[in-house]
Structure 1
Amino acid sequence: MKKIFFTIFIATTIVLNAKNIKDIKFEGLIHISPSTAMEIMGIYPGSEIDIEKIDKAIKKFYEQGYFKDIWVTEEDGVLTFHFVEKPLISKVDIIGYLESKKEELPNIIGIKKGDIYDEEKIEEAKQKIIQKAKEEGYYDTIVEVDTTTLKNGSVEVDFVVNKGENIIIRKLDICGIHAFDKSDIEDVVANKERDFLGWMWGFDSGKVNMDQLEFDSARIKDLYMRKGYLDAKVSNPFLRVDFNTYNAKLLYHVEEGKPYVVEDVKIYLTEPVIDIKKLKEDLKLRKGKVFNIEKLRKDMQKIKEKIADLGYAFVRVAPNFKKNEKEHTAIVEYTVIPGKKVYIRDVIISGNQRTLDRVIRREVLLAPGDLYNLTDLKDSKNALKRTGFFEDVTIEERRVSENQIDLLVKVKEMPTGNIMLGGGYGSYEGVILNASISDKNIFGSGIDASFSIDYSSKSLRFNLGVFNPRIFDSDYSLGVNLYNTTYESYDYTQKRRGGSIGVGKQLMRYLRGSVSYQYEQSELSDVTFDSIYFPEGKFIKSSITPSLSWDNTDDYYVPRHGFVASTSLEYAGIGGDEEYIKSYTKFAYFYGLEDLIDYDLILRYKARLGYISDQGYLPVNEKFYMGGIRSVRGYSSGSLSPKDSEGRLIGGKETFSNSIEASIPLMESARMRLAFFLDYGMIGEDSFNEIKRSGAGAAIEWLSPMGPIQLIFATPLDDKPGDRTSNFEFSMGTKF
């Protein structure tokens, strides 16, 4: 606030004797430098003192938002601008509503630590909190602000919030509906009538979502359009609220009309860039079918993708339909404007603090000079996410001319390495110590390396592995693994040492082939019983394993679309003692429902099939065992298998297990999910169904700063006497 005496003093001075400015000084400036202040006010030494210019300068300073008070004094031609700056905010906190979302608070209210305290912004923040509460169905929200001035002049700001009350929809009336049930309407709208058990999870609470209310009419109209009702009209929602009880009635009026049938589908190309017959091949909306707006949208996208894959990055598809109201038929028309062919000028990579540029660039299927291709662009993003190096990947298109674009590849890296030191105690092995170090992206090179050691009084295990998925950035891969283990059981002592080497090649975009060779020397000694399954002595394993794998998923740890499949055939008997043929096949399918139901629900189906043919000598450690994280949860790992006459596990030759899972968000800010599962498996020596077990439960899936972690809580559904069950399991570093 300007001092009154300034105006009187300056005005009198100008009237009596106009002066020139000898010098300009600033007192109290912190956030603006004197040179910047001089530029802002536009007044310089040597010019005549002008009260209007000084007044404008003060206004300009106030516009910067830094100052609480400004005044000017003049003495012997020296103008001094005095400033009192607004205090800084040293802390922002919220008490009550939104207290559990403090990490999101700066984005919600627009104020954060280090900002300048401004009454207008504080008031805006209060209104944003109230609006946020309204969006979540809370009304009559009260927000109070407590400020505390510290010794250093900064201010602590506390927002104390009483979130008010929920408005509950007790009655939803939709007048004029005949083609649908009320439940069909409630499936698509955000605001629903409260269920009898509305307080229970899984039932509709009836809370008003005010931010979604205006869109519900369009959702109802869209439902009718999906069934061909092109003439359907839906009124705006009418919400009647009793603010004494916070109960409400919601009303819509609907005029349905009749459904339309597609009379014909026509496509017009402004430029003949493709045969129209090819564009019509995969269309879902066809002649004789009931009109469906959802199919129309998908067909538009298919048309766009086919044109964009020819290099037309800026293709436009304009839909139209001509209605015959008497016959209730419609002609669907698509006008396709391809534009010009577009080429890639440059690929610009950012966000990678650790991963080398070349590791990212080799996964991008488009390079400078290439013709634009939309499918290649999508596959590039998915390929980068499948590496497991990045939490998020975006590829933006920046137009630089009418026929050139830059691709901006932005990645957000995630932890890929783990260092673990641990221990435990077992009744048989005593104190157990373990340590491991692993990194899927060592030094940002894309190479996967790991080393682990486990030690106890009864066992010692070493393992070293290195895998390079792209040797010299080529389509070839190379992996090497070495191991050495010693284990003293109750009835025998087993030593195993060996290694493997494998070479692979990318055969197609999603298909990879590989072949590996394994050599192992095992020794079984101190056997305290006679059994054909546990022969004493030294044995050599020499085997070769060709394999094929397919992966077109959109993420490494939490895929939402696509499937993974692999099959291998191991032949043992290349000069060694062990002789068998083992085949093993895995399959996993992922389907995210967010686009359909506007909720991040992921459905998963996983299956595993194994078969072994004994060609001479098949040791028990090479056979199949069921139970645990990767087969049937609820049973101890590897505890389900055929047994010998003494009750010892001898493994099976045939096995099949599968799982159905549903994964939902638990804490999105912490990247934590909750999954429910049902497992079923079979295993046997001579047939699959000798042993059949199932289990069910839930798992917490957490992409933690240390890497992916799973906490699995399971229960067996049909366990038998003698089964070893397990209600809790833990894993780290593996896919979900």
Structure 2
Amino acid sequence: MRKILPLSVTLSSLLLSQTVTSLEYKGLLHLSEDVATEISGIHIGDEFDINKIDESLKSFYRQGYFSDIWVSATESGGLVYNFKEKSTISKLEMNGYSSDDEQEALFISVGLRKGDLYDIKKVENAKKRLIKKIESEGYYDTVVEVNAEPKTDSIALSFEVNKGEKIYIQNINFAGADHIDVDELEDALANQEEDALGWLPGLHSGVAHMDQLGYDSFRAKDVYMKNGYLDATVSEPLMRVDSGSYLADVSYQVSEGEQYRIKSIEIVGLVDGLDKDEILDELRLLDGKVFNVDKLRKDMGYIQEQVANLGYAYAKVAPNFNKNEADKTVDIQFSVRAGNKVTINDVIISGNYSTKDRVIRRDIFLAPGDIFNLTDLKDSKSALGRRGYFENIDIEQQRVDESNINLLVKVKETATGSIQAGGGYGSYQGFMLNASLSDRNILGSGMSASLGFDLSKVSTNYSLSINNPRVWDSEYSLGMSIYKNEYEYSTYQHDTFGVSSNIGKRLTRHLYGSLGYSYSENDIDSNGTSTAIISSVFSNEDLNYAKSTISVGLSYDSTDDFFVPREGIILGGNVGYSGVGGDEEFMAYSAKFGLYYGVEDYIDYDLIFRYKLRAKWLQETGHISGPEKLFLGGVSSVRGYEPYSIAPTRRCEEDENCEYKYLGGMKSVVNTIEASIPLSTAAKMRLAFFADYGMIGETNFDEIKRAGYGVSLEWYSPMGPINLVFARAKNPGELDKTSNFEFTMGRKF
């Protein structure tokens, strides 16, 4: 309620005085008198103006602190502002929706905090946000009542929530959808029918998400645009809900139109320094192929990146379409507006309370004075993300003028020191348990250290390591570790205690070189078997030996994703010499190669081909113990065979307790071909058909040849990666041990 100038008998005195002789403010708590005077705009000595006083009241109301304000006048010509401030919210509680420990965060998300001033409009807005949040979880007819209980100078608010019932989508109908499979359309929607096993994480339970319903028609239209139907229209969804069962039917009206193919592609407005033909060769859209809006977006991004890499930070690419209805083709013209070349004025880092600026800056590939480069900007963000120091990373471009920008590197740090525990399961190793005490960013220096252990049915491993990835902010790394491993084979146990160190150098953004040294002491125990069996497998000098190894390696990785790469290669090689002290004297060579190639751009289906090769070769220069030799088999080798079960063997002739013994190989190679297809995009499941072919021998690679084939279910679940391998040995030997199923959890695919 606003009350303006109840002056009564004092009106005449004010009118006679013509000026304000004094100002007084009563009831102020949140504002000082000086601030109040500035807000009112009225000062002592000003002429009396009733309109100006009215405006001052409006200004005070706009501050949001007051529920009532009125002005009175003194006989001497002074003005007295009387304020009744709003009560503060002293208590917030919610019943019927969230637990007590979640309520504070929930109230903050809808715009209320304890200690806020009570404002009816603000509370009503919070109520609406809460209802919208609950409805987004699939509840129908949600009711929220707010009770306000006055206290002394405060208000206690209680939100009483009746969530209503969840709506389950029973049927989805696309009327008029003739050329696109209905399942493909539904897969694009946020609201879908219940999947088989829909209760599993990542699958659709059928619960309606009302906040997303209005956008689903656009998602369905996007499917048509990916399949060349440029004129397709999809109506807003019509949902019919049965008030008794809360089951819903959703229907869409579709007009598909005609499917268009690409007739020609042209780029206009390219800047000097770019070859138009080279860019056209890299585009995903191809002449004669069906138009695909997803590929169009990627091509626009590619062209923009090529232009931006020459310093044009604000380059824009716009597509123009010319549809030819007669032959159902479309001409596409990409129009480029480059703008001005831009130079980096400054790199400003914020949000790093622990991590030192220099640690962040060394992973930013743009510095003051550099010409802007979009690829460098993206690589900088990726490099910072790989460190694991930050929860969020954002690099903004702040325009200084037409030719200069600042890079604002905003990070939100995450806890890098932690005590972690986890586990997994393997069909051979059984249950696995691991725990570690680590810090990836000691005192903000970028150095890391860890102390950990891994336990399983057949192995026990302990390790302590420390690593500096950028010694003195250089391109060099330095690491050291100490470890103890115990591994149980079927007839013996192999115990190892060792130390290692390595120094590496980043040669390019994708190429890394390393030099390492390791020393280990090894013991072979009978593990419950007779000494005769052990001696038949290993010679006496193999039972206790020391190994001292120096190695050098190179690795290259240009893949585009950690778990499911669709393009790029992995290439690595390592040469090690054991014989710098110790009992062992041999050379060890290893190489790996991985090629990943997705063909979705050509066949419009997310099919990925993978080829992997792993090769090892040992060269004896003095002595090599049996446990150091090579064995194949298992989920990381030739699938369809038990781990370490493929190797040159020899039958035992003198010991009746020994049927045969593994000699181990000196040369081995494993080839793998895989074809991976999506099983459920929403659940992050893929199906990989594979064929493994391995060779191992003492003198030649091809002395023993084994093959396996099968299918692997790869699921990146909320609990981590899970891999189910169903394999079959193609040509097992007489002594081979086969395995048709292997299961790993907590390991990379």
Specify if TM > 0.5.
yes
The aligned residue for residue 64 of structure 1 is 63
SS at match of 2:145: strand
Secondary structure, counterpart of 1:281 in structure 2: helix
1:427-480 deviation per Cα after TM superposition (whole angstroms, max 9, x unaligned): xxxxxxx9965322222222223456999xxx9998553322222222222223
Deviates more, 1:714-723 or 1:285-294: 714-723
Give the deviation of 1:217 after TM superposition. 3.6
What is residue 319 of structure 1 aligned with on the other side? 319
Deviation of the 1:345 alpha carbon? 1.1
Query: In 2 relative to 1, CA 438–662 (structure 1 residues): closer, same or farther, beyond 3 Å?
Result: farther
Quote how far apart the aligned CAs of 1:116 are.
1.8
User: What is the Cα deviation at residue 42 of structure 1?
Assistant: 1.8
Kept in 2, the 8 Å contact 1:624–1:651? The answer is: no
For residues 176-575 of structure 1, the aligned pairs below 5 Å read 177-192=177-192, 207-239=207-239, 249-269=249-269, 271-418=271-418, 437-450=437-450, 464-482=464-482, 499-521=499-521, 529-530=531-532, 531=535, 533=538, 535=540, 539-552=545-558, 566-575=572-581
Is residue 174–residue 182 contact of structure 1 (8 Å, CA) maintained in 2?
Answer: no
Displacement of 1:342 in angstroms is 1.3
Instruction: Decide whether the 8 Å contact of 2:202 with 2:684 is kept in 1.
Output: no
1:126 aligned onto 2:130:
no
Contact 1:632 1:695 in 2 (8 A): no
CA-atom RMSD in angstroms: 5.4
Alignment of 1:560-599 (within 5 A): 566-584=572-590
More moved, 375-384 vs 562-571 = 562-571
User: Could you tell me whether the CA contact under 8 Å between 1:388 and 1:557 is conserved in 2?
Assistant: no
Instruction: Give the deviation of 1:274 after TM superposition.
Output: 2.5
Distance 1:452 1:160, change over 3 A: closer
Conserved 8 A contact 2:148-2:157: yes
Task: Give CA-to-partner distance per residue, 1:220-264, whole Å, 9 cap, x none.
Answer: 433333333334344444455565665555444444333333332
Deviations 1:90-120 (A, max 9, x none): 4444333466975762464222333222111
Q: What amino acid maps onto 2:175 in structure 1?
A: I
Residue identity matched to 2:584: E
Distance in 2 (CA, whole Å) between partners of 1:662 and 1:103 is 41
Please identify, of 343-352 and 216-225, the stretch whose mean Cα deviation from structure 2 is larger.
216-225
**Unaligned residue ranges in structure 1 (runs of 5+):** 423-433, 593-600, 667-672, 703-709
Q: Distance in 2 between matches of 1:692 and 1:617?
A: 36
- Deviation, structure 1 residue 406: 1.2
CA distance in 1, matches of 2:488, 2:253: 78
Q: Would the alpha carbon gap of residues 143 and 606 (structure 1) be closer, same or farther in structure 2, given more than 3 Å must change?
A: farther
Distance 1:701 1:354, change over 3 A: farther
Contact 2:67–2:86 (8 Å) recurs in 1:
yes
Separation in structure 2 between the aligned mates of residue 574 and residue 158 of structure 1, nearest angstrom? 74
- Mapping for residues 150-161 of structure 1, pairs under 5 Å: 153-161=154-162
**2:142 matches 1:141:** yes
Match of 1:430 in 2: none
Distance in 1 between residues matched to 2:285 and 2:464, nearest whole Å: 56
Greater RCO, CA 8 A, separation 6+ = 2
* Bigger shift: residues 329-338 or 615-624: 615-624
Contact between 1:389 and 1:416, CA under 8 Å: does it hold in 2? yes
Aligned residues of 1:139 and 1:167 also touching (Cα < 8 A): no
Worse-matched range after superposition: 128-137 or 117-126? 128-137
Residue 722 of structure 1: how far off its partner (Å): 11
Determine if contact 2:14/2:48 at 8 Å carries over to the other structure: no
Q: Note closer, same or farther for the CA distance 1:417–1:150 as it changes in structure 2 (3 Å cut).
A: same
What are the ranges of 5 or more consecutive residues in structure 2 without an aligned counterpart? 423-433, 599-605, 698-703, 730-734
The structural deviation recorded for 1:512 is 0.4
1:308 offset after TM fit, Å? 1.4
User: In structure 1, how many angstroms separate the alpha carbons of the residues matched to 2:742 and 2:157?
Assistant: 48
Q: Report if aligned partners of 2:549, 2:576 keep a CA contact under 8 Å in 1.
A: yes
Do 1:553 and 1:562's aligned partners in 2 also have CA atoms closer than 8 Å?
Answer: yes
Q: 1:546 aligns to what SS in structure 2?
A: strand
Q: Does the 8 Å CA contact 1:188/1:220 hold for their aligned counterparts?
A: yes
Which region of structure 1 is more displaced relative to structure 2, 187-196 or 444-453? 187-196
Q: 523-532 or 152-161: which moved more? A: 523-532
Matched residue, 1:14: 11
8 Å Cα contact 1:117/1:155 also seen in 2: no
Q: How many residues align?
A: 696
Contact 1:478 1:504 in 2 (8 A): yes
Q: Distance in 2 between matches of 1:88 and 1:664?
A: 51
Structure 2 equivalent of residue 174 of structure 1: 175
User: Offset at 1:193?
Assistant: 5.8
User: Which amino acid letter does the alignment assign opposite residue 88 of structure 2?
Assistant: L
Shift of 1:578: 1.0
CA displacement at 1:13 relative to structure 2: 0.3
Instruction: Report the Cα distance in structure 2 between the residues aligned to 1:98 and 1:435, rounded to whole angstroms.
Output: 33
Deviation at 1:609, TM superposition (A): 4.3
Return closer, same or farther for 1:612/1:227 CA change in 2, 3 Å cut-off.
same
The secondary structure found in structure 1 opposite 2:341 is coil
The alignment's TM-score, normalised by the length of structure 1, stands at 0.76
Distance 1:697 1:294 in 2: 25
Write the distance in 2 (CA, Å) between the matches of 1:123 and 1:511: 58
Assess if the C-alpha contact under 8 Å between 2:168 and 2:247 holds in 1.
yes
SS in 1 for 2:531: coil
